[in-house]
Amino acid sequence: MPATSANLGPGFDAFGLALSLYDELTVTPGGSGVTVDVVGPGAGEVALDESHLVVRSIRAGLESLGAVVPGFSLRCENRIPHGRGLGSSSAAIVGGIAAAYGLTGTPLDRDRVVELANEIEGHPDNVAAAALGGFTIAWTEGDKGRAVRLEPAGGLAAVAYVPVTRVLTKEARGLLPAAVPHADAAANAGRAALLVAALTSRPELLMTATEDRLHQEFREPAMPESLALVHKLRGSGLPAVVSGAGPTVLVLDVAGGLPAAPDGWERYELGIDPVGVQVWSEQTERGPAGGRE
């Protein structure tokens, strides 16, 4: 399951981008209960029983498919940082649902994965990118999550600057005002439309297209260092944004040669994942069961 970045500046709660940093799950059916083993981010912190997010997502996927798998063992090899705005929870949810398809031998229905994942996550932006790969635009119809995938421009990449500190999505959302001026809403609508063009065919427009007036500045009290880095990078002409709810800062990069990470931060050079979540069975020697044909 790929890491993801949501919003991308003006595309609040709608845009997502799948990144080439991956968590992996191994699910082995058998027995009557679950055993969970976690390595990497989250180890020693997350639950190791039925309340684990991946386990809950597997159960939801199995229920949707009308299937029952009484017991299984789960191994989570995590690489996506937790609580940093890179979609770790969305990866867990999408991976768990996709694993249910693998356990039942059912071809992966990516649109249905987005629907189910949205029910668990509560918003479809990150889960859409994790399920579909590439650049996604997500929305809801009633309570159903929907998404379309667009092909990113050739050569598009990203650099993520990840701090040690975490920010809870709930905390970041709590800082947003209930209303914004009409002029700011109109400006964001125009920038979001422009960002679709910039990400798919006109990357030279990324700097202008990533301008935001709806959410990033309001979140500064929860992540002042992140907003300071965004301002510094943008002041150097680089299209930097807060990744998701933060505090990671993402630069949409086509030229390379970006600066080193500040002290105490990690720097990830990432490609754009083109496929989204994938499912393999060991019996088929990692065949394309969940891949994009």
Q: What is the pLDDT along the chain (293 residues), one digit of tens a residue?
A: 999 999 999 999 999 999 999 999 999 999 888 999 999 999 999 999 999 999 999 999 999 999 999 999 999 999 999 999 999 999 999 999 999 999 999 999 999 999 999 999 999 999 999 999 999 999 999 989 999 999 999 999 999 999 999 888 778 888 999 999 999 999 999 999 999 999 999 999 999 999 999 999 999 999 999 999 999 999 999 999 999 999 999 999 877 778 999 999 999 999 999 999 999 987 655 544 433 32
pLDDT tens-digit profile of 204-246?
A: 999 999 999 999 999 999 999 999 999 999 999 999 999 999 9
Give the per-residue pLDDT at 289.
42
Who's near 35: CB < 8 A, 6+ residues apart?
48, 73, 74
- Mean pLDDT of the chain, nearest integer: 93
What integer pLDDT is reported at residue 249 of this predicted model?
98
Rg (CA), the chain: 19
With 0-12 / 13-18 / 19 or more C-beta atoms within 10 angstroms meaning exposed / middle / buried, residue 183 is exposed
Does pTM surpass 0.85? yes
Output the pLDDT for position 288: 44
Q: Which helix (H) or strand (E) holds 149?
A: strand 144-150
Query: What is the spatial distance between Cα 197 and Cα 75, in angstroms, rounded to a whole number?
Result: 40
Q: Is there a cis peptide before residue 247, judged by omega within 30 degrees of 0? A: yes
The answer to whether the CB of 133 falls within 8 A of the CB of 276 is: yes
Quick one: pLDDT at residue 50? Answer: 94
pLDDT in tens, 103-116: 999 999 999 999 99
The answer to whether the beta carbons of residues 17 and 152 sit under 8 Å apart is yes
| Residue 24 burial (CB count, 10 A) | 15
Which segments of the chain does DSSP mark as H helices, in order?
53-64, 88-104, 110-121, 125-132, 169-174, 182-200, 206-209, 224-235
Q: For position 284, what pLDDT does the model report?
A: 56
Give the integer Cα–Cα distance in Å for 100 and 108.
9
Tokens describing residue 88: 């770790």
Taking only the tens place, the pLDDT of each residue in 135-145 is 999 999 998 99
